[in-house]
Amino acid sequence: MNFDLFNRRIHLYLGLFLMVFFLKYAVSGFLYNHNLGLNEYYKDKPQWTKLFELTCKRPVPDNGDLRLVAAQILKDAGIENSSFGVYRAGKKQLNINSHSFFSTTRVVYFIDRNLLLVEDKNFRWDHFIHKFHWLGRYQQDSFICDAWAFMLDLLFISIIIWVLSGIYMWWKIRKTRLWGAIALGGGVVSFLFFVFLL
């Protein structure tokens, strides 16, 4: 197999293998870009539904890794999910969001009151689209999250390979060089136009 054939095969099969991922970003990016008036639809609807409250006396250090404390608090609340984010909402409150593609559970720890408030986020299409588009991380203690993040790395690297292999195939066909150069130059110029004017 010569390089030209190898290049075409890589271009073809990477595209087929990652097609659903490309579609994911294409569809969610389009919807996220247009918003479709969903903020207006959801503005008067409650975002959270209270599940329960629980007494908790976990110490929270002023400095240090909050994820360790958050993991213990989630376990106290009976939430078995290693995909979560945590942040301080003031000195006396810790917010933990445990999430998947389709749901988010928030645990609010009122430190001075030794109280956990556990709530489920009511489903919203605009929030789902946002999460669907941006979800991806290596920072979670989960094999499935790492595997998902690896697939996204593969996607991003494949986009670069797609670009380079496409340029190579274009250059190998002499009769398309002029129009290809116009298309490539037009894309670069339009990108720079928006970079400097936005």
Reported as a single tens digit per residue, the pLDDT across 11-38 is: 999 999 999 989 988 888 888 788 766 7
Decide: pTM greater than 0.75: no
pLDDT tens-place string over residues 83-131? 888 989 888 899 999 888 788 899 999 999 999 999 999 988 878 887 7
- 160: pLDDT strictly greater than 90: yes
Classify burial at 107, counting beta carbons within 10 Å of its beta carbon; exposed 0-12, middle 13-18, buried 19 or more.
buried
Instruction: List the domain boundaries for the chain.
Output: 3-37+142-197, 48-121
Best CA proximity match to 96, nearest among 82, 88, 111, 86? 86
Asked if 10 and 165 touch (Cβ cutoff 8 Å), the reply is yes
Measured between alpha carbons, how far is residue 60 from residues 18, 25, 68, 140 in Å? 43, 38, 10, 20
Q: What is the pLDDT of residue 157?
A: 93
pLDDT at 136 over 90: no
Q: For residue 196, what pLDDT band results from cuts at 50, 70 and 90?
A: very high
Q: Does the pLDDT value for residue 139 go beyond 80?
A: no
Helix axes 3-17, 19-34, angle to 10 degrees: 50
d(CA 114, CA 53): 10
